Amino acid sequence: MIRFILLQNRQGKTRLAKYYVPLEDSEKHKVEYEVHRLVVNRDPKFTNFVEFRTHKVIYRRYAGLFFSICVDITDNELAYLECIHLFVEILDHFFSNVCELDLVFNFHKVYLILDEFILAGELQETSKKAIIERMGELEKLD
Amino acid sequence: MDTVEKIVEDFASDIAMSSFSSGTRLRDMIRAIRACKTAAEERAVVRRECAAIRTAISENEPALRHRNMAKLMFIHMLGYPTHFAHMECLKLIAAAGYPEKRVGYLGLMLLLDERQEVLMLVTNSLKQDLNHPNQFIVGLALCALGNICSAEMARDLSPEVERLMRSREVNTKKKAALCSIRIVRKVPDLAENFMALAASLLKEKHHGVLISAIQLCTELCKASKDALEYLRKNCIEGLVRILRDVSNSSYAPEYDVSGIADPFLHIRVLKLMRILGQGDADCSEYMNDILAQVATKTDSNKNAGNAILYECVQTIMGIEATSGLRVLAINILGRFLSNRDNNIRYVALNMLMRAIAVDALAVQRHRTTILECVKDADASIRKRALELVFLLVNDTNVKPLTKELIDYLSIADPDFKGDLTSKICSIVEKFSQEKLWYLDQMFKVLSLAGNHVKDDVCHALIVVLSNASELQGYSVRSLYKALQAYGKQGSLVRVAVWCIGEYGEMLVNNVGMLDGEEKITVTESDAVDAVEIALNRHSADATTGAMCLVALLKLSSRFPSTSERVKQIVARNKENAVLELQQRSIEFSSIIQRHQSIRSSLLERMPVLDEASYLVKRATATQATISANKHAPTVAPGGLKLPNGVAKPTSAPLADLLDLSSDDAPASTTTSTTTPNDFLQDLLGIGGVSTSTAGVPSTASTDILMDLLSIGSSPLQNGTPGQESKPVHAVPEAIDLLGSLSSTTSVSAETKPTRLVSQGMDLLDGLSSSTSVSGLEKTVHPSITAFQSTTLKITFDLKRQPGNPRETTIHATFTNLTSSTYTDFIFQAAVPKFIQLKLDPASGNTVPANGNGSVTQGLSVTNNQQGQVYEDLHPLVPPFYLASIVYLFYWLEFNLLPYDVVYNC
């Protein structure tokens, strides 16, 4: 099960934070700070997995952005790595060539996409096409 | 005054800005925040915006509500407090239109969580939205429910979610299925309502629905045994079909990931198969073919393919697979391990750890590669590999493996040294067959990483040393040499200084030379020099300093010629800022100066430390720590193994005979009171010798009583840790034996055996409960001494409520140890928030003097946080503080109570 998903830039600014377990605000900030520190200085040749407290973080860097997913210790790391990539592809498709600024100004849409992709800490949809179509329908309603 | 004026000014400008600011769009606000050059500017902008939003909230302006909420979400993401917006979320959710609801639900999920009481108010809106004709609004409500619902909401709204799972709309169906996962996690009792529905969803074609349903099934299996059985019967065929379809399907652009159709679905099916196949031969048999197909046909050039193979291997290892299939799995792991991609190697190591249980020999084949991974640059890989090496060690390969690890220790990353050192130490302790080898390895570790060696490891080493009389000379000389070369390693210094103090004459006279040992010349003053240097270098550390002082004092008696010098060194420390050292120096000076006559007898070598009782004590302490840690693996019986050929505990040593406290605190050592901090105390023989009854009946007080009653090798003694003991069976035998005994022995002895038996039972209970894994229901805990001083003793009898594992009842007994009676006795206790405490009235308020009678009182403790999903992300809270007010106000350390009693299961 996914515990939380973080999108952070190299400076450690959080661009998206979704928690599927309840945490105090102060605890969330601490988690964000720690995860950033864990992933930011790792060599690109290293594994994309780091142990974090009693869980593990699967992260992947796209340009200046780190996508980190914290999952249970027994979960399939490689699958979540693929999952991050799929999410990035969806974002890229939706914003056509996504960049950090898109995510900053349209953060609420990013949350909306994420809610179509993952629910209750589990995968909801694996088809990029289905999610993009659904987003199109939702946009029309706004 | 200036600051006050400034605040007033700021406030005025805030008000002036607010009319302007409330009109800004979200985009403008984000721009304004991004334009800020300093953190102070950003704070000012945010403050202005918040003030404007607050005003808008108080004016109840519905038109701007959803824009304001969006702004607040952004502000929240920057880390500013936004609690004032909670009610706004609810208002937005209650609005009619989709755009308002969308922002409202988003705010609800971001700003609130299941623990806020405001959430109660949203249940009704959620219920209405779940019944809404518009599928998009239903989608919003399901999404919110799935992400933040509490147990109460789960109960209230589960009928709606069940109904929505039957919806014809795909999006609603998959969302409802995932929402049920959350509901089942919160309220496992509801699992049975969902199992038929979940199984029926597996017949769908849509991948989104399938993956959601499969994940729901996985969760149901975890939540309920009935559901597991039901799904085993009803959905295994469906799963095999899904997996076959998806893995045989031709190119499907919608789900294609680097040439593989929907790897995510593959993986989820394989995971569910693992759960269903575990321990069920029929199920396992049924999925054999498809697993073999996936394992052989999947392309391993891309990450997606490897992810599937990895999951497939896990499933093969988890189920009752045929041996052919297992060979296939192990081969895949071998391929993974030699892959150049670090991610793949990492998962291979991870998997091999589990494969060890299935096929240890196959894993041993990869030993060299694994050992290379211990030296990898990547910390994640190193850590995995080290854990794996630890599991791979056995009696035959321990020597080369230890050598490799110790060689690596000298060049290891400083961050990694701690882990590596503790693993090497436990390998060496667990597998050493000869003492000389053990000592040599320990000396190497101390020299290379002495600052990372734990106190209890040093303590164990000293216990072994004190028992190995033929190796003491060799050891003290080796340690002396090491001390010269590696004087900065804290633990090395302590052990070396202790040995020089104890066995100084062996150092100087080359007593007990081993074959091939190099002869060294050390004079008496060299020995003193070594200790003096250590004292000067490590004076900041009180423990090392104190040990140095003791060593010097002992040397002054071993080598009378150095006495004058030692006197001077000790005298220099009389003004030491550390109280402990100062006091010792003054005491020791007076021993040297004024008590010449008793000095040599006072400073004799320490009595041989009892190896068996030390090991038992240590094992108990580790067990206490392990049971405190939910995630720790089961303690292996090896934890109680006596290394170095000690087959049977030696009979109760002198120290135990002198021990006064062991009789009145029979079970006190079953708790974790034996912290490593009493290292020094133990070494100096002060107090800490209450090891006698540590959870195993074969030691001191029991022994003595047994001996008195001359029943020699009683069944109780069979419970020694070295053998496979069945403590529970030993009890009735003991009773029988003592029963028959009482008829033959004199009346005066009769009172003793009965006490003995009850003690034995308690202790055995303690043993069985502390070794059992957390999953087992434990209802009885040993009685423990919660607190003891010279004036007051408190013992606790702990009992778990059978129906309610969260509740523990404590029967407290207070005994007055002074010679005056306590009147107006009140016992008070304080506990952290998540624990509820109920105090029953005490049996009286007068405690008679000299331990003649006692006051008892019942307490019941309920841990509200037990078993909650998020507790492992919380910092551990000390579970239990107790304060008692008698004449004095005593704080009791929480670790005096078995940790798991109130906190864990």
Tens digits of residue pLDDT in B570-580: 888 888 888 88
Residues B715 and B648 in one domain: yes
Residues B700 and B828 in one domain: no
Q: Do B873 and A79 touch (CB under 8 A)?
A: no
Domain end point (choices B112, B127, B150)? B112
Residues B758 and B848 in one domain: no
Position A111 pLDDT exceeds 70:
yes
Chain A positions touching B169 (Cβ under 8 A) are none
More confident residue, B283 or B13: B283
Q: Does residue B752 lie in a domain region?
A: yes
What is the rounded average pLDDT of the residues B721-750? 37
Asked if the C-beta of B894 comes within 8 angstroms of chain A's C-beta atoms, the answer is no
Query: In the prediction, which pLDDT does B236 show?
Result: 92
> A75-79, B243-247, B365-369, B756-760 — which is least confidently predicted?
B756-760
Q: Do A120 and B178 touch (CB under 8 A)?
A: yes
Chain A residue with minimum CA distance to B258: A82
Give the residue numbers spanning the domain of B754.
615-771
Can you give the C-alpha Rg of chain B in angstroms? Answer: 34
What is the rounded average pLDDT of the residues B715-719? 38
Chain B positions touching A127 (Cβ under 8 A) are 207-208, 254-255
Query: In the prediction, which pLDDT does B805 show?
Result: 66
Among A51, A77, A134, select the one facing B171 at the smallest CB separation. Answer: A134
Question: In Å, how far is B257's CA from the nearest CA of chain A?
Answer: 9
Q: Does residue B795 lie in a domain region?
A: yes
What is the rounded average pLDDT of the residues B528-541? 85
Chain A residue with minimum CA distance to B262: A126
Q: What CATH number should be reported for the domain holding residue B795?
A: 2.60.40.1230
Chain A positions touching B181 (Cβ under 8 A) are 120-122
Query: In the prediction, which pLDDT does B779 show?
Result: 47
What is the rounded average pLDDT of the residues B241-263? 88
Return d(Cα B717, Cα B713) in angstroms, integer.
Answer: 6
Chain B positions touching A22 (Cβ under 8 A) are 113-115, 148, 870
> A101-110, B146-155, B265-274, B647-656 — which is least confidently predicted?
B647-656
Q: Do A127 and B310 touch (CB under 8 A)?
A: no
> B223-227, B272-276, B665-669 — which is least confidently predicted?
B665-669
Q: Could you tell me the two tokens for B623? A: 């067990």
More confident residue, B746 or A85: A85
Return d(Cα B856, Cα A56) in angstroms, integer.
Answer: 48
Q: Could you tell me the two tokens for B688? A: 């800490």
Q: Which helix (H) or strand (E) holds B176?
A: helix B170-186
Query: In the prediction, which pLDDT does B107 show?
Result: 92
Position B222 pLDDT exceeds 90:
yes
- The C-alpha angle B333, B337, B343, rounded to 5 degrees, equals 105
Chain B residue with minimum CA distance to A115: B143
Q: Does residue B646 lie in a domain region?
A: yes
Residues B15 and B43 in one domain: yes
More confident residue, B899 or B74: B74
What is the rounded average pLDDT of the residues B2-28? 55
Residues B747 and B801 in one domain: no
Position B720 pLDDT exceeds 60:
no
Residues B686 and B819 in one domain: no
- The C-alpha angle B135, B138, B139, rounded to 5 degrees, equals 85
Q: Do A43 and B255 touch (CB under 8 A)?
A: no
> Tell me, what DSSP letter sits at residue B648?
S
> pLDDT tens-digit profile of A22-32?
998 889 999 99
Position B666 pLDDT exceeds 60:
no
Residues B802 and B765 in one domain: no
Return d(Cα B499, Cα B655) in angstroms, integer.
Answer: 20
Among A108, A119, A120, select the one facing B70 at the smallest CB separation. Answer: A108
Return d(Cα B504, Cα B506) in angstroms, integer.
Answer: 5
Task: Tell me which of B69, B76, B77 to substitute to probe the interface with A (most A C-beta atoms closer than 10 Å).
Answer: B77
Query: In the prediction, which pLDDT does B645 show?
Result: 41
Query: In the prediction, which pLDDT does B816 show?
Result: 82
Position B678 pLDDT exceeds 50:
no
Chain B positions touching A71 (Cβ under 8 A) are none
Strand partners, A61: A66
Position A42 pLDDT exceeds 60:
yes
Query: In the prediction, which pLDDT does A58 show?
Result: 96
> Tell me, what DSSP letter sits at residue B832?
-
* Answer CATH for A2-141 from 1.10.3720.10, 3.30.450.60, 3.40.50.11540, 3.40.640.10: 3.30.450.60
Most confident of B316-325, B517-526, B646-655: B316-325
Query: In the prediction, which pLDDT does A10 show?
Result: 93
Tell me the residue type at B370. Answer: I
Position B728 pLDDT exceeds 60:
no
Domain end point (choices B112, B127, B153)? B112
Residues B730 and B828 in one domain: no
* Count: domains in chain B: 3
Residues B679 and B824 in one domain: no
What is the rounded average pLDDT of the residues B12-22? 44
With b for 16 or more beta-carbon neighbours within 10 A and e for fewer, the B241-272 pattern comes to ebbeebbeeeeeeebbbeebbbbbbbbbbbbb
Residues B767 and B795 in one domain: no
Looking at every residue in chain B, the average pLDDT score rounds to 75
> pLDDT tens-digit profile of B850-898?
877 788 888 777 776 654 433 333 333 333 333 222 222 222 223 333 3
Q: Do A82 and B264 touch (CB under 8 A)?
A: yes
Query: In the prediction, which pLDDT does B771 show?
Result: 34
Q: Does residue B659 lie in a domain region?
A: yes
Q: Does residue B51 lie in a domain region?
A: yes
Contact residues for B384 (Cβ-Cβ < 8 A; gap 6+): B346, B349, B350, B353, B373
Residue B61, sorted as left (phi over 0), alpha (psi -120 to 50) or beta, turns out to be beta
Chain B positions touching A134 (Cβ under 8 A) are 171
Position B673 pLDDT exceeds 90:
no
Q: Do B381 and A119 touch (CB under 8 A)?
A: no
Backbone angles phi, psi at A122, to 5 degrees: -125, 160
More confident residue, B786 or B894: B786
What is the rounded average pLDDT of the residues B482-498? 90
Query: In the prediction, which pLDDT does B4 show?
Result: 52
Chain A positions touching B70 (Cβ under 8 A) are 108
Among A54, A82, A104, select the one facing B307 at the smallest CB separation. Answer: A82
How far are the Cα atoms of A13, B450, B629, B874 from residue B633, in angstroms, in the given order? 37, 27, 9, 20
More confident residue, B626 or B761: B626
Q: Does residue B671 lie in a domain region?
A: yes
Give the percent of chain B with pLDDT over 70: 73
What is the rounded average pLDDT of the residues B227-232? 93
> B181-185, B253-257, B739-743 — which is least confidently predicted?
B739-743
Domain end point (choices B112, B129, B155)? B112
Using the Cα atoms of residue B870, residue B874, residue B880 and residue B885 in order, give the sign of their dihedral.
Answer: negative
More confident residue, B527 or B113: B527
Position B526 pLDDT exceeds 50:
yes
Position B114 pLDDT exceeds 90:
no
What is the rounded average pLDDT of the residues B786-814? 74
Please name which of B556, B551, B561, B549 lies closest in space to residue B586, comparing C-alpha atoms: B549
| pTM, entire model | 0.67
> pLDDT tens-digit profile of B422-451?
889 988 888 888 888 999 999 999 999 888
What is the rounded average pLDDT of the residues B534-560? 86
Chain A residue with minimum CA distance to B27: A105
ipTM score for this prediction: 0.96
Please answer whether residues B273 and B288 qualify as being in contact, where contact means their C-beta atoms are separated by less than 8 angstroms: no
Q: Does residue B500 lie in a domain region?
A: no
Residues B755 and B790 in one domain: no
Residues B734 and B827 in one domain: no
Q: Do A82 and B211 touch (CB under 8 A)?
A: no
Query: In the prediction, which pLDDT does B704 show?
Result: 40
Please name which of B107, B70, B114 lies closest in space to residue B86, comparing C-alpha atoms: B107
Query: In the prediction, which pLDDT does B780 show?
Result: 54
Among B171, B181, B310, select the one facing A122 at the smallest CB separation. Answer: B181
Chain A positions touching B269 (Cβ under 8 A) are none
Return d(Cα B637, Cα B89) in angstroms, integer.
Answer: 56
Position B665 pLDDT exceeds 60:
no
Q: Which helix (H) or strand (E) holds B261?
A: strand B260-261
Q: Does residue B506 lie in a domain region?
A: no
Query: In the prediction, which pLDDT does A134 show?
Result: 94
Other beta carbons within 10 angstroms of residue B561's beta carbon come to: 11
Question: In Å, how far is B304's CA from the nearest CA of chain A?
Answer: 7
Tell me the residue type at B642. Answer: L
Query: In the prediction, which pLDDT does A27 show?
Result: 92
> A120-134, B335-349, B859-873, B883-897 — which is least confidently predicted?
B883-897
Query: In the prediction, which pLDDT does B348 show?
Result: 93
The pLDDT confidence band at residue B811, using thresholds 50, 70 and 90, is confident
What is the rounded average pLDDT of the residues B249-262? 85
> pLDDT tens-digit profile of B572-617?
888 888 888 888 899 888 888 888 888 888 888 888 888 778 778 7
Position B682 pLDDT exceeds 70:
no
DSSP state string for B87-103: HHHHHHHHSSSHHHHHH
Position B748 pLDDT exceeds 80:
no
Question: In Å, how far is A95's CA from the nearest CA of chain B?
Answer: 16
HEC profile for A85-126? HHHHHHHHHHCCCCCHHHHHHCHHHHHHHHHHHEECCEECCC
